[in-house]
Amino acid sequence: MPAETISADRAASFVKSGMWLDYGTTLCEPDVFDKALAARKDELENVKIRTCLSTRPRAVIEEDPEGKHFHLFSWHFSTYERRKHDAGRCNYTPLNLGEVPDYYRRFLDPVDIVILQTCPMDDGGYFNFGPTNMWQRAIIERAQLVIVEINREMPYVFGKDNGVHISEVDFIIEGDHQPCAELPDQEPSQIDRTVAGRIAAEVEDGACLQIGIGAMPNAVCALLMDSGVKDLGIHTEMLTDGLGLLYRSGRVTGSRKTLDPGKVVYTFALGSLALYATANRNPDLYCHQVDYTNSPHVIMQNDKVVSINNTTQIDLQGQAASESDGYRHISGTGGQLQFVRGAYASKGGKSFICLSSTYEKRGERRSRIVFTLTPGNIVTTPRSDVMYVVTEFGMVNLKGKCVAERAKAIISLAHPDFREDLERQAYEHRLIPRGVSFYCRENPSDDLQTRPTLVR
């Protein structure tokens, strides 16, 4: 039976109490259906909705502030979802982002209804997902009912299985055809630029880049545009404005990639309208599913993979906590750990965890480098996986270093005001054993006689 075009109100009428709905991810989340469903709140209870990186407020949550009718479950928090989590209206699901398609296929109950915002149907009968492939196909495979919400402003993006055929669709509704939501670009600080400069100096011709979200990783892209580096490749989870600018500058050719040579590979784009315009019908840009972009065994097949990600706190053994502030959840694991592992396994690959050495909280300057993580903080990247750590005070490689060497190396990256206390704690708790007189050297030619003695 061919898919029927219906009103958003009728589509929302299919929802019953206790159902699991799926809104997909980022730019694919529905807007018109969401408003129509919110209008039915008094008729429903215990409706559970999965989201990821919501780019606009969800009407079902805004119209149900006490959570009597709808519950939100997110695979990764946007700013909006973080605020709703703080208010008790959104819950996080732990993951490695690249594994989510497998979760749907192996571990989750069938989805009652999936509602995805898409491009209008193309000549081949497909509704393109736009620049958000992620795990949409896996949801559709597991859904009892498939509804697409048409957005004529959605960029049409090339990619493997980046769409749903009309034969798989049950109902079609017209959206409000708003331009895709933009992610405001963060202006890099001087600290961001300093850290970025250290990382950019490590990027070689032919390197294959993965850039995480944030001003600091994006500052690396700006510096690479002004460098002499050439023939860069991109195989990333998120296509950022920084990567878009780097592609438009001509530094990205992908000619040295083993996988998908000549293609910019990503699983979702989130940024400015200019970024979406760059992706629109561009054969150089290829939007894959997340189990392809994020799987370490896939990532490693390209040589010289460079993975650049932020963290918010790191301890003296090298554990990076990138997704929470104590028990307060902030974002999510995302693909950080998978790209750290994939980059390390790549021939000539490098992974960088970057952070500013301090931050301000309640008018007080605090160190992001700590003896022990804040209680409740989630370890995103274990100490055994961390490779390069970078702050405005330097860069160290933790691979092959014992605990004492790690502690000394990481202390050297802290703000000078905090180093003495960190060193004292390291000795008190035997991270650095008493009587140890070896030195942590990043450069074998360093003159030991010029370094301070840290023997206790």
Residues labelled catalytic: 237
Looking at this protein, which amino acid is placed at residue 437? S
Secondary structure of residue 353 in the 3-state scheme: strand
Q: Which two tokens stand for residue 95?
A: 């993951």
Q: Are 288 and 163 in contact (CB under 8 A)?
A: no
Rounded CA-CA distance 62/60 in Å is 6
Q: In what helix (H) or strand (E) does residue 288 lie, and over which residues does it extend?
A: none
Give the ranges where 346-415 is alpha helix by DSSP (H).
403-411
The CA distance from 222 to 201, in Å, is 13
Q: What are the C-alpha distances in Å from 125 to residues 3, 129, 132? A: 11, 13, 19
According to DSSP H, which parts of 66-214 are helical? 79-86, 100-106, 136-142, 190-200
Cα-based angle 221, 229, 301 (whole degrees, multiple of 5): 80
Nearest CA among 347, 405, 287 for reference residue 26:
287
Give the span between the Cα atoms of 278 and 247, in whole angstroms.
9
The DSSP secondary structure of 193-253, one letter per residue, reads HHHHHHHHTTPPTT-EEEE-SSHHHHHHHHHHHTSS--SBEEE-SEE-HHHHHHHHTT-B-
CA–CA separation, 168 and 148 (whole Å): 10
| 306 residue type, one letter | V
Structure tokens at 245: 């600018």
Could you say which DSSP state residue 106 is in? Answer: H
**Which two three-digit tokens encode residue 292?**
């392809």
Residues 388, 340: Cα–Cα separation, whole Å = 10
254: left (phi over 0), alpha (psi -120 to 50) or beta: left
